[in-house]
Structure 1
Amino acid sequence: MQARGAGIIYLLTILVLLGCLSARETRAENDPGLPVFVSILPQAFFVERIGGNRVTVDVMVQPGQSPHTYAPSPKQMVRLARAKVYFRINAPFENGFIPKLQSAVPGIEIIDTTRGIVLEKMDDHNNTDDHHHDEDLDTHIWLDPLLVKKQAAIIRDGLSAIDPAGRLYFENNFIRFAGELDNLHNRLSLALAPLKGKSFFVFHPAFGYFAKAYGLRQVAVETGGKQPSARHIAQLIEKAREEKVKVIFAQPQFSTKSAETIARAIDGVVIALDPLAGDYLANMEKIAAAIEKALQ
């Protein structure tokens, strides 16, 4: 019944959406900036840094929601009728959602900000014994500032193609943002350099690119969206004890039950760490500081 109800809601939404298309251009003319949609909050930060006052950014996955379980609301689908561009990042929900969006809003420009970036497998970040999901690619590329520079360049080029009059404005903003990312990367590299080779424990393996960028190792409680087996939990407890780990990091979008089980066994604590926070630069500093403190 739930699936059928969801399908009906979706069809009704599409009908409403199609009814809105005729007014799309009129509404867009009254907007303060180019209507842009993104999947997650960090992307909004990037687009606003580059687009400035020439864009108005809307985000699909709201605070507290997970891209792994997210589904667009009818209100969001209607708002998408006025969007000129959607910057995707290969979040899990996008695979089923983007084709429907293109069908319902044929004029919208879909730009893939992962273009040119080699996505790694989750297992490449997480060397545990009994969790292997080769089909799962890690799309958390925003957690490496140097990969964000590549995404920012794609955003700059995409905005320039749609709004040629703002090309120089976008370029100048990109140069400034790229400098901020370089400075961030240099600060984090300096702070985390003494900890190279050390492991930090997380519930969901979101921090693989962060770990790779700064010479750390991420050990995840779950992989592939599945709760860990009792055997896997026992292995993690043993590993945590061997490495004297006392902190398990968990995202606020996920249940912390398994992480808490491990934390109790090692006399440790579970600490929230949110890779989806909206203030990207400040959040990266916060993530680095939390991991640095946990590994000292």
Structure 2
Amino acid sequence: MKSTPALLLLSPLLLSSPAWAGAPNVVVSIKPIHSLVASIMQGVGEPSLIVEGAASPHTYNMKPSNAAALQAANLVFLVGPGLEIFLEKPLEALGGDAKVVELSEAPGIEKLKFREGGAFEPHDDDDQHGEEGHEHGAEDASHEGHDADAHGAAAEEAEHHHAHGESEFDMHLWLDPMNAKAMAAEIEKTLAEADPANAAAYRTNLEKLNQRLDGLDKSLAETVAPIKDKPFIVFHDAYQYFEHRYDVRVAGSITVSPEVLPGAERLSEIHAKIEDLGATCVFAEPQFEPKLVNVVLEGTPAKSGTLDPEAATLEAGPDLYFQLMENVGASLKDCLSSAS
């Protein structure tokens, strides 16, 4: 191996480069958000990731290495209440050493309320969606057969809200690229305030990221346009932001939340919904038990597919967010286009 020339080491370009110099120590909770932070920190530093590999924030257990990373952090980015429940106590133990940024509170974020039950029955006293009162036709036909399962669904719903720390909003915010833009703006602002020496780099990276997000949004709209009217069932209700943005027709979920295994009544209800609404696909997720999908598919003409909303199968990094979203769109199109 050739040695590096001394003149190269003394290059004025390298001496003036801000890369790594004074960059804050940044920790991010989950892959999709880590991807946005990594995009904005390119050329400056690399954020650490807590939920690595195929793990899910819904079922994650902290490791000693995660605790050490948090103790050393200057900034911690997470989505918000109800998603990273495993972080609540470790973050309390941090004291005032790190700034914790909940991106669900970023200006411009659109938040949608949790939907009730596997068939997405609306709340009694409010719109089923969030702050803008969005309504979607996919749920209009979702009330049949609910009364017979009311007690079982209510019990599961109570567990669901407990598991999500009583948060009223769905925290899968990143599944709308416009929410990703709002989070990216907050990430850039926070980094620039913590590290003013590299503020110009963060701003340039944000501008590039916004251009990519706008292109992604347009591409996804084109991808799902041919299958917008075909109803489908998902493993858990993680997709209403994608549904809201692109007007696809999610008809229900097998389970309200991955922390709560569905009972026989809910599985029966979803099985009936496939037949009643003509749902053409049922989507599993790579982190969770596929047998439940097979149970609700049995005896129906619906096909199975896989969606990966938390990027369990993808390698962490700046491109992950775009791969995640493109994969969701492509998986929907592939299954729903081939289904009768």
Task: Report the TM-score, using the length of structure 2 for normalisation.
Answer: 0.71
Residues 40 and 259 of structure 1: CA distance in aligned 2, closer, same or farther (over 3 Å): same
- CA distance in 2 between counterparts of 1:103 and 1:206 reads 30
1:110 corresponds to which of 70, 91, 100: 100
Contact (CA 8 Å) 1:38, 1:57: kept in 2 or not? yes
Instruction: Report which stretch shifted further, 172-181 or 215-224.
Output: 215-224
The amino acid that maps onto 2:324 is N
Contact (CA 8 Å) 2:78, 2:101: kept in 1 or not? yes
Please say if 1:82 is aligned against 2:116: no
Name the structure 2 match of 1:266. 300
- CA distance in 2 between counterparts of 1:112 and 1:65 reads 21
Alpha-carbon shift at residue 32 of structure 1 (Å):
8.4
Contact (CA 8 Å) 1:246, 1:263: kept in 2 or not? no
**Which SS does the other structure have where 1:285 is aligned?**
helix
1:162 corresponds to which of 194, 198, 202: 194
Alpha-carbon shift at residue 267 of structure 1 (Å):
4.4
Deviation by residue 1:188-235 (Cα, 9 ceiling, x = unmatched): 112222333432211111111111111023221110432223232222
1:223 corresponds to which of 244, 256, 261: 256
Deviation by residue 1:238-272 (Cα, 9 ceiling, x = unmatched): 22124443432121222222211012231444333
**Which SS does the other structure have where 1:248 is aligned?**
strand
Name the structure 2 match of 1:138. 170
Contact (CA 8 Å) 2:30, 2:52: kept in 1 or not? yes
Instruction: Report which stretch shifted further, 223-232 or 250-259.
Output: 223-232
The amino acid that maps onto 2:204 is N
Name the structure 1 match of 2:11. none
- CA distance in 1 between counterparts of 2:92 and 2:266 reads 41
Instruction: Report which stretch shifted further, 95-104 or 155-164.
Output: 95-104
CA RMSD after TM alignment? 2.4
Residues 239 and 59 of structure 1: CA distance in aligned 2, closer, same or farther (over 3 Å): same
Please say if 1:248 is aligned against 2:282: yes
Please say if 1:71 is aligned against 2:61: yes
The amino acid that maps onto 2:104 is T
- CA distance in 2 between counterparts of 1:261 and 1:32 reads 54
Alpha-carbon shift at residue 95 of structure 1 (Å):
4.5
Deviation by residue 1:97-117 (Cα, 9 ceiling, x = unmatched): 345424335221111111143
Contact (CA 8 Å) 1:47, 1:155: kept in 2 or not? yes
Please say if 1:119 is aligned against 2:117: no
Alpha-carbon shift at residue 91 of structure 1 (Å):
6.0
Contact (CA 8 Å) 1:71, 1:93: kept in 2 or not? no
Alpha-carbon shift at residue 288 of structure 1 (Å):
0.3
Alpha-carbon shift at residue 183 of structure 1 (Å):
0.6
- CA distance in 2 between counterparts of 1:143 and 1:123 reads 16
- CA distance in 1 between counterparts of 2:88 and 2:264 reads 37
Contact (CA 8 Å) 1:248, 1:271: kept in 2 or not? yes
**Which SS does the other structure have where 2:61 is aligned?**
coil
Runs of at least 5 residues in structure 2 that lack an aligned partner in the other structure: 1-19, 122-141
Name the structure 2 match of 1:7. none
Deviation by residue 1:110-134 (Cα, 9 ceiling, x = unmatched): 1111114343222179345454647
Contact (CA 8 Å) 1:70, 1:93: kept in 2 or not? no
Which is higher, the Rg of structure 1 or of structure 2? Answer: 2
Contact (CA 8 Å) 1:32, 1:55: kept in 2 or not? no
**Which SS does the other structure have where 2:77 is aligned?**
strand
Deviation by residue 1:33-90 (Cα, 9 ceiling, x = unmatched): 4321111011111011111121221111122212112121112111222211000102
Name the structure 1 match of 2:329. 288
**Which SS does the other structure have where 2:42 is aligned?**
helix
Matches within 5 A, 1:172-211: 172-211=204-243
The amino acid that maps onto 2:111 is L
The amino acid that maps onto 1:126 is F
Runs of at least 5 residues in structure 1 that lack an aligned partner in the other structure: 1-29
Residues 155 and 92 of structure 1: CA distance in aligned 2, closer, same or farther (over 3 Å): same
**Which SS does the other structure have where 2:46 is aligned?**
strand
The amino acid that maps onto 1:229 is G
Contact (CA 8 Å) 2:306, 2:331: kept in 1 or not? no
- CA distance in 2 between counterparts of 1:238 and 1:79 reads 47
Name the structure 2 match of 1:149. 181
**Which SS does the other structure have where 1:123 is aligned?**
coil
Contact (CA 8 Å) 1:121, 1:137: kept in 2 or not? yes
User: Using CA pairs below 8 Å that are at least 6 residues apart, which structure has the higher relative contact order?
Assistant: 2
Name the structure 1 match of 2:132. none
